[in-house]
Amino acid sequence: TQLLEQSPQFLSIQEGENLTVYCNSSSVFSSLQWYRQEPGEGPVLLVTVVTGGEVKKLKRLTFQFGDARKDSSLHITAAQTGDTGLYLCAGQDTGRRALTFGSGTRLQVQP
Amino acid sequence: EPEVTQTPSHQVTQMGQEVILRCVPISNHLYFYWYRQILGQKVEFLVSFYNNEISEKSEIFDDQFSVERPDGSNFTLKIRSTKLEDSAMYFCASRGAGQGNTEAFFGQGTRLTVV
């Protein structure tokens, strides 16, 4: 069974600070996706990383896929209150189409 | 922008009753999924559906669950005899075809409450 561990589980920071969220596994994934989920709503796709070592930027968000395709990180620069939410990583195994989700990191950005 | 739509947004049902959750995937997508998320827990895979048949299912997806694509647009999840522990958010997702098409798009979810 593939598992994705996210850390930290909870993060409360001040507006303007930087933060990094980690997503780790002992398994190799063919791709990894980051989602953001608001309470009572479905996950909204932020980015997909496919190649080991790949770095993708989405405004103040930087996503990295580990060289071995077992881990990933999300770095937010100069956090804003609008970044508050639950961030989920989800990996796709080469042989499966289904996603394995991490448990999520709940981010609270204080004004 | 194309999106996955789910109905109803909230369903309350009595234990033992049958429920059908409905989804309209993105129109040119070929892979369809159901996931669930019990309150405070992680999103869990239930079933995937491709070419009018189940391609994969998890241990959660037992005989009480079934999926159907009754026409060209709808994708449904049926729970035959609901249990209290079926209470959760149920998410439908769809994905396009092709090896390079890895992105799954999720609906807003149906909150199922079994009482």
B42: nearest CB among A44, A48, A103: A103
Q: What is the CATH number of the domain that holds A16?
A: 2.60.40.10
pLDDT, residue A2, reads 73
DSSP string, A37-106: E-TTS--EEEEEE-STT-EEEETTEEEEE-TTSSEEEEEESS--GGG-EEEEEEEE-TT-SSEEE---EE
Which of A23, A72, A99 has the most B C-beta neighbours within 10 Å, making it the best mutation to test the interface with B?
A99
Instruction: Report the run of H or E that residue B86 belongs to, with start and end.
Output: none
| Contact call for B91 and A42, based on CB within 8 A | yes
In this structure, the number of other CB atoms found within 10 A of the CB of residue B92 comes to 28
Note the pLDDT tens digit of each residue in A87-102: 999 998 877 778 999 9
- Per DSSP (E only), the strands in chain B are 5-7, 10-13, 19-24, 31-37, 44-50, 53-57, 65-68, 75-79, 88-95, 104-106, 110-114
Boundaries of every domain in chain B: 5-96
A111 Cα to chain B: minimum distance (Å): 25
Report how many Cβ contacts below 8 Å link chain A to chain B: 62
Note the pLDDT tens digit of each residue in B58-101: 999 999 999 999 887 899 999 999 999 999 999 999 998 766 56
pLDDT, residue B98, reads 67
| Contact call for B109 and A31, based on CB within 8 A | no
Give residues with Cβ within 8 angstroms of B96, minimum separation 6. B26, B28, B29, B30, B31, B103
What is the Rg, in whole angstroms, of the alpha carbon atoms belonging to chain A? Answer: 13
pLDDT, residue B97, reads 74
Tokens of A77: 């620069």
pLDDT, residue B96, reads 85
Identify the segments of chain A with pLDDT beneath 50: none
Note the pLDDT tens digit of each residue in B19-48: 999 999 998 898 999 999 999 899 999 999
Q: Residue A92 is part of which domain span?
A: 5-110
CATH number of B5-96: 2.60.40.10
pLDDT, residue B101, reads 62
Up-side HSE of residue B113: CA atoms within 13 Å toward CB?
5
Task: Report the number of distinct structural domains present in chain A.
Answer: 1
